[in-house]
């Protein structure tokens, strides 16, 4: 459930009740409250790993207030609103269910840094580099955060011949490079003022891509808001 500026007002990806293994047709419900300022409802299905999945008979319908919401704690909302310790906790739970979710992995490391646990973040990043090889995006970002690739390597790897993919990968690259400069992660060097300036440059480039549905775009907006306060 999204608000007017791309913020998430409600969230449930069934991460706390994932569909696993082989199963026959079954009904699944996602129930979210609709705030007055909501502007969009986004829904779909995600397959992680190999296999096949089907979806049919999708309906959107109102229910009474007696029907409980299935809304989950959203680690991205916690992160964007500065509750980094809680974000780290929820990201850690998400990674247990989906260990190859690169967004959860990267934002978990960022949340650890921002909650005063940089050594845990570095240890975690060093331990996941094998799961995200440099040959496949976003592997270069993970390798950069672990100090194994340069900023230029990430930007080069983000470029793609397909215009849509190019824009999306640049959105992600700009966001994660900005975060690296803000927190002095990976291969980033320099003093605080110059790092903050470089971070703002990358955040503005991320927003300029216009990939509004990406978490990285929303993160860039949130960070720019903090920098301009």
Which token pair is 59? 């309906």
Structure-token match 């995600």, residue found: 46
CATH node for 75-227: 1.25.40.10
As a residue count, the chain comes to 229
Return the higher-pLDDT residue of 113 and 18. Answer: 113
81 contacts 111 by C-beta, under 8 angstroms: no
pLDDT tens column, 157-184: 999 999 999 999 999 999 999 999 988 8
Dist. CA 13–CA 147, nearest whole Å: 32
Round the average pLDDT of the chain to a whole number and report it. Answer: 88
pTM of the shown model:
0.71
Nearest to 112 by CA among 100, 127, 97, 98: 127
Q: Is the pLDDT of residue 111 over 90?
A: yes
Dist. CA 7–CA 177, nearest whole Å: 21
Comma-separated ranges of CATH 1.25.40.10 domains in the chain: 75-227
Dist. CA 228–CA 223, nearest whole Å: 9
């Amino acid at each position: 459930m999204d608000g007017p500026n791309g913020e998430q007002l409600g969230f449930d990806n069934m991460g706390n009740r994932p569909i696993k293994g082989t199963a026959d047709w079954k009904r699944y419900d996602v129930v979210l409250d609709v705030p007055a300022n909501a502007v969009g409802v986004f829904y779909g299905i995600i397959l992680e790993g190999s296999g096949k999945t089907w979806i049919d008979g999708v309906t959107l319908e109102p229910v009474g207030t007696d029907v409980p919401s299935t809304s989950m704690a959203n680690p991205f909302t916690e992160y964007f609103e500065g509750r980094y310790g809680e974000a780290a906790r929820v990201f850690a739970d998400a990674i247990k269910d989906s260990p190859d979710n690169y967004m959860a992995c990267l934002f978990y490391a960022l949340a650890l840094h921002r909650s005063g646990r940089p050594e845990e973040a570095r240890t975690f990043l060093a331990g996941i580099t094998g799961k995200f090889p440099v040959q496949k995006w976003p592997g270069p970002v993970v390798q950069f955060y672990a100090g194994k690739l340069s900023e230029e390597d990430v930007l080069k790897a983000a470029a793609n011949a397909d215009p849509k993919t190019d824009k999306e990968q640049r959105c992600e690259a700009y966001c994660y490079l900005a975060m690296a400069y803000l927190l002095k992660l990976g291969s980033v060097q320099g003093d605080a003022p110059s790092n903050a300036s470089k971070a703002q440059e990358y955040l503005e480039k991320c927003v300029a891509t216009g990939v509004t549905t990406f978490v990285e775009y929303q993160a860039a907006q949130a960070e720019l808001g903090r920098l301009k306060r």
